[in-house]
Structure 1
């Protein structure tokens, strides 16, 4: 569904006004980075799955 380096949209926008996040770490916890201000958030995978709205950009599998 989603992988490292993908850009996703969450249900709630970040306070900086941008709603695009890049996945920077995958595992039991997922780390995402705001593409607007660079703020990093880490959350459990279950919480991430609930807050995810949609996939925006899939990273190319080179």
Structure 2
């Protein structure tokens, strides 16, 4: 299981109505707040729904700090 962090960019399984698949995590915990990178709309999701909807981690904050 991946440990998600604030600032990670994730690709979701279903597109946002604007057509965007990539989201930035802006809050973690029991609920996740994610921001669409195409239209900047923010959504709150419960952790189980978020984890089920994530297809891949596009960019991790940890990888950025190491480079």
Same fold (TM over 0.5): yes
- Gaps in structure 1 of 5+ consecutive residues: none
What is the RMSD computed on CA atoms of the aligned residues? 1.2
TM-score, length basis structure 1: 0.92
TM-score, length basis structure 2: 0.85
- Gaps in structure 2 of 5+ consecutive residues: none
Q: Which has the higher helix share?
A: 2
Give the total of aligned pairs: 62
Between 1 and 2, higher relative CO (CA 8 Å, sep ≥ 6) is seen in: 1
Runs of 4+ in 1 over 2 A off after TM superposition: none
Return the index of the structure with the highest Cα Rg.
Answer: 2
